[in-house]
Amino acid sequence: MKSATVVLGALAFAALGCGSSNPAGPGTGGVGGGAAGASGRGGVTGAAGTGGIAGTGGAAAGTGGAAAGTGGATGTAGASGTGGAAAGTGGATGTAGASGASGAGGRGGVGGTSGASGRGGNGGATGSGGSGGVCTGSGDCPGGVCFQGLDGVRRCATSPADPPLRSCEFAPAGCCLQNSQCTQGTAGRCIPNAGSPCGGAAPIGNVCSYDTCTTDASCTAGMPAGATVSVCVPAGAFGLVSAKCVYGGCRTDADCTASANGKCQYGNAATHGTQCDLRQVFYCAYPSDPCQDRNTGCTGVLLCLPEENYQGRHCAPGPPMFP
């Protein structure tokens, strides 16, 4: 049995290409060592411990690839098992996973919805007075005033932008070209000349416009006969460039009860026939009136204007026109 073992050992050394002179020879020798491991099953007796020394050669060759792993099988013969363990260190270290990409930034929230605009009047009548968002006080209206519209809702009224101006060539004295020239009153604004409400020559040039009131109370003294309401309307409401007093027979829709579905509106006052009395008032308009906005129901040059008592409308001559 001993002689057979010697023969097997000799064959193993021959397969290693004379590995006995250099046990840690080239890596290709490791492949031979693996094959010898398969024969090592005969070394159950343990006498083939010398064969285990050959397994050490397999350890050096183990870095050469999977074939060295087969040499590890000879480890069952005892001492050569150490060689198998050495081969086990040949595994490659796993590459670290790439870090995840950062998440996309959150989309910004949608801006809040702006307040409802002032309710537009039907046709010739102007809106309810609001020019901005709904408010509870002037603190909600930077640069403006919180004003109650004719529908009862309070909205921000802000002074409108400067209008395009005309040339002052051939204009009467006092024609302005910028707001800074308007210093004779409060909140002076340079605006195109609207001319006289009583007709005459077509207006040219520009004039200064000033605020004529600050509170409703400042308008009481000038209330005309028959009017029940006096209001200081701020710049920006109803398209006004400057604050002014407006009088009439209603303040909100709730005041118009003479007929069904009454609406408080802002528009031209009764013209008193051919008299020059062009001004704006608050009056009640009803669906049952003989004429409606946009002068519907009126013929020729007649306009749909409020009654003298500000309740309802009728067809009447308009104010004088420019030639």
Query: Beta 263-268 vs 280-285: how paired, if at all?
Result: antiparallel
Contacts of 264 (CB under 8 A, 6+ apart): 150, 250, 251, 252, 253, 255, 256, 282, 283, 284, 285
- CA angle in degrees (0–180, nearest 5) for 283-284-285: 120
d(CA 322, CA 300): 18
Q: What is the pLDDT along the chain (323 residues), one digit of tens a residue?
A: 444 343 333 333 333 333 333 333 433 333 333 333 333 343 333 333 343 333 333 333 333 333 333 333 333 433 333 333 333 333 333 343 343 343 343 333 333 333 333 333 333 445 555 556 899 998 999 989 999 999 999 999 999 999 999 999 999 899 999 999 999 999 999 999 987 666 667 789 999 999 999 999 999 999 999 999 999 999 999 999 999 999 999 999 999 999 999 999 999 888 766 566 678 999 999 999 999 988 899 998 898 999 999 999 999 887 766 54
pLDDT computed for residue 273 by the predictor: 61
What is the pTM (predicted TM-score) of this model?
Answer: 0.58
- Pairing between strand 280-285 and 302-306? unpaired
pLDDT score for 278: 75
Quick one: pLDDT at residue 60?
32
